[in-house]
A = this chain, B = another copy of it.
Amino acid sequence: MSEGNRPYHHGDLRAALVAEGLELTRSDGPGALSLREVTRRAGVSPAAAYRHFRDRSALLGALGLEIQSRVVERMRARTAEPGVADPAEESLRRLRGVGLGYIDFACEEPGWFEMAFFGIADVEGIGPDLARVPPFAELLAALDECVASGALPALRRPGAEFSCWSAVHGCAELIVHGPLRGAAPGLVREVAERVVDDIIVGIR
C-alpha cells in the first residue's frame, strides 16, 4: 500500500499480472480485462506489461492456459469419486465424470470458462495437437480407457472425441451464455446429465 518505498523493479511482474488478471476476469470473462487496470492493480505503469506480453491477447492466452489446468482439476475431482468393480462400467463412469466435471467448472466459474480456450487458436497450423490441450487430453485418455475396457468398440473410437467435446462444450455454453443462463440448479444438473448420457450412448 505504501507507495514510497516500492522498488523500481517488481520482482515477478509476470506472475503478478496473471494473478490480477485471473481475479479481474473471474466473474465477467475476457471483456473485464484491461491492460491498464491490471497494471494499475499490480502497482506498475501500463507499458510495463509489454515487457512480459506481446499484447493484451497474449495475456489472455496465458490466463487461458492457467485456467485450463484448473478445468482439469475439476474433472479429476469428479472422476475420483468411489468406483465400481467392472472395468467397462468403470471406464464409462470416468468418461461421464470428465464431461460432468467440465460442465461443473463452467457453471461454477462462468467468467473463467469463457477464457479457457482463448489461446487455442494461436496454435498455428491446421490440426494443433489436441492432446496438448490438457482438458482435451483428459477426454482422449478416458476414451482410450473405454476402448481398453471393451466399453467402446475400437471401430467407433476415431472421431469420438469430437462428438464428446461438442456435446459437453455446447451444453456448458447453453448453461453459461445460452438460454439456460440463470436456470434453477436442479434443472441445470438434469440437463447436464441427460446431455452427457445421450452422447455416451451415441458414440458407442
Report A's interface with B, CB cutoff 8 A: 117, 120-121, 123, 125-128, 130, 133, 136, 159-160, 162-163, 165-171, 173-174, 177-184, 190-191, 194-195, 197-203
Q: Are the C-beta atoms of B194 and A126 separated by less than 8 Å?
A: no
Across-interface contacts of A198 in B (CB, < 8 A)? 160, 163, 199, 202-203
Asked if A178 contacts B126 (CB within 8 A), the reply is: no
Q: Which residue of B lies closest to A103 (CB)?
A: B166
Minimum distance in angstroms from A161 CB to a CB of chain B: 10
Beyond A166-B171, A201-B201, 13 additional contacts (C-beta under 8 Å) are A117-B178, A123-B179, A126-B182, A127-B179, A159-B190, A159-B194, A162-B194, A165-B170, A165-B178, A166-B166, A166-B173, A167-B167, A202-B203
Bound state CA distance, A171 and B182, in angstroms? 23
In-complex Cβ contact of A117 among B165, B171, B177, B195 (8 A): B177
> Contact between A163 and B199 (Cβ–Cβ < 8 Å)?
yes
In the bound complex, residues from chain B placing their C-beta under 8 Å from that of A170 are: 165-171, 173
22 CB < 8 A contacts A-B:
A120-B177, A120-B179, A121-B181, A126-B184, A127-B179, A127-B180, A127-B183, A159-B190, A162-B174, A162-B194, A163-B194, A165-B174, A166-B166, A166-B168, A166-B174, A167-B195, A167-B199, A198-B199, A199-B199, A200-B202, A201-B201, A201-B202
Given A126-B184, A200-B202, A202-B202, decide whether A163 and B173 contact each other with a Cβ distance below 8 A.
no
Q: Is B120 in contact with A178, judged by CB distance below 8 angstroms?
A: yes
Residues of B contacting A169 with CB < 8 Å?
170, 173-174, 178
Chain B residues, CB < 8 A from A163: 167, 194-195, 198-199
Q: Report whether A177 and B121 are in contact in the complex, using a CB–CB cutoff of 8 Å.
A: yes
| A162 in contact with B191 (CB, 8 Å) | yes
Interface pair A162/B195, CB less than 8 Å apart: yes
Q: Would you call B179 and A136 a contact (CB within 8 A)?
A: yes
